[in-house]
Structure 1
Amino acid sequence: MDLLERFRDALPRVVDDIRTLVTCESPSDDLAALAASAKLTAELGTAYLGSEPEQIVLDGRPHLRWRLGDGPRRVLVLCHHDTVWPIGTLDNHPFAVADEVLRGPGCFDMKTGTVMAFHAIAALAETDGITVLVTGDEELGSPSSRQLIEEEARGCVAALVLESAGAAGALKTERKGVSLYQVTAVGRAAHAGLEPEKGVNASLELAFQLSAVAALGAPERGTTVTPTALQAGTTTNTVPAQGRFAVDVRARTVVEQQRVDTAIRALRPHLPGAELHVTGGPNRPPLEAVSSAELFERVCRLAAGQGLAEPAQVSVGGASDGNFTAGIGVPTLDGLGASGGGAHADDEHVLVDELPGRIALLAALLADLLTSALPDPAGAR
């Protein structure tokens, strides 16, 4: 039986496993819910992978790690079990399957991807060298798991990320890097009616800085610099003594990310007597196209061998844990999870009939990476 036929036969069980994970709500900010989700995910993974995971709790958040076999680590499979949905979401958006569309909070981002990984690995004749890491804080930016992810990736020939696919099932071969900043202006308060001239208006300082920061974007290079949340002042009759705004930066290359970082840190006050303070910086490095090129070409060859359509590829602005693995030089391919849509939205859904082919392709890629040579990942060591 070939892989595609195997997973077509297994589809009812795949859907049932997705139901198991989706109906265990696991918002990133609820430690008790995360603990319950980690326990359930560990039990499901143990049934398919044949061994229990190590549970690694960092800052109260549970992460699961399976190191399969005793040989050198070759492939890291990355998943996460936390979601953006608060407890009680299932009451309004229950798990459901109708007309080959599966729905439920976290189904697309990314509990289906975790189930896909378990089924794909269980189908392999040899699993020695695979590490499966299911983290519990990805939706927060992976504050506790980043170091763990990078440590597990070092020395691997590939990192495969089971985040959801792009439109029409496209694999994500490029992700922008993310930088986050807060720009704070400090002025001097004064009565707005009696003696405004004695004040230093932090709102006016911010107005100047907002324009300067927004001008750092470079759309022709794929770089966006977006001032977001803004706060200033205390009362309507007081010259604002302090204010601040947040900045979201997305960049396709490390060079661009560093250019913007240098420019933001070089901001200087515009008004006499004002002070300016910048905090924050790069949060995730870019997953540049060069990091995924060889793996994507490999997937296309394997798809043809499995009788599957050649996958498309897409560049996206959102980040994932794949940014971290690519950032330390490990070849990384993202978007290998479910086809569907609606991540973080009420219409979150998975296309059920696409699952067998996607799991088959993942299994073929894993088998190929365990048995055939890739360029030596010297940059990852």
Structure 2
Amino acid sequence: MNRIILILPFLVCSIHLYGQTMHSIIFTNMEEQGRELDRTAEMKQMTEFCMSIAEALDYKHNLRCHSGAEFTSKMLEKEIASLNVQENDVVLFYYAGHGCNWDDDDWPHMAFLDKQYWETTTFNKLKAVSKKAKLLLCIASCCNMDSEGRRKERMQYAPIDKEKAKKLFLGFSGKKAIIASSSIRGQYTYSWSSGTMLGSIYTISLRKTVNEVLSGISNIGLTWDEIFEATKQQTLAYTNNRQLPQYVIENNSSRNIAITPLPSRKTKNAQAKIDKIWLKKNIMHNGVSCLEIHVKFNTHFMEQSGGRVVALFESPKGYMLKDTNNNYCTDDGQVSVGTDFGSHYEHAIYPDVTLIIPNDEIHVTKRNYTYYIKLGVYDYSQNKYIYFSDYVTIEKS
């Protein structure tokens, strides 16, 4: 009996050491037209990277990958809500797709199929369900576009030293939560979409840096500060100083990261008003002649899910202008163009939101070259339009 009692503590320690889980949630828009190759490569490489880390840590791996019809904010929220994070688990969220900046947040907004979504909102929600986690990583690679350069080498990864991996992911005091994105506000995020090395340049740089550190072929220290600083320098070198990543490392506490104060609890339904609309005709974008629709508007009491400003085309007035190729249109086939917006503030002003549609996508018939534009403001919280402007009349040239 005494021997059994002496063995029990060691069994408990063994269960505690090897019972942890690495939770990997990966969203990659692999089916976007023209981006299939690099996004598919990105999903494969990130999946393999997470699997190798979980194996090095001797952790179970809870891997959840989403693309196609599942590339939505609703699926993200479902995944976050279903997480069961235990003491000393590791949680990694990764997004690869389009994105942008909104009014008052220096972190990017991820462009899911259903709507855009703050990375800071994702980070805060992940923190809320990951308080027991030893490490939380929230990484977004947004606003990808093809870079001008091409590198000839293939990315090859060396075997990972398990002890180094455990020191980096687990060997620090307390608990850490890290938010990172591929570029600072106002910058594009570049990717390689052809050649021998495909995927997000930033994420390739991050994986390369981590692998070199964990395989012992780099003198970079085993800290996340040094990892992300080295990733910055690698990304800058690959993009000729055009893309500067950003990150924040904090203790995993209940404090939420926000660039501006969060609004008080909403007491009224959202309101909006368009103050001014002005047009610029035949403006060239990437060699294509386009119509620019500029809008100044304000909103009040909108939720943080934001909204969308949409230009709806009619010809004649009161009759929807039918789309013929399913490129710029509403769900019911009306020619349209729109963009998402949002703010942390209850009362927000948007001085110049620009909607761009190619002239060839405005499918006016030859019998009537006059068409009309009506601007609508859609509220995602209420799932309806909350404001429509007066008509703007245009004679097609």
TM-score (norm 2): 0.27
Q: More strand by proportion, 1 or 2? A: 2
Q: Which has the higher contact order (CA 8 A, sep 6+)?
A: 1
- TM-score w.r.t. the length of structure 1 is 0.28
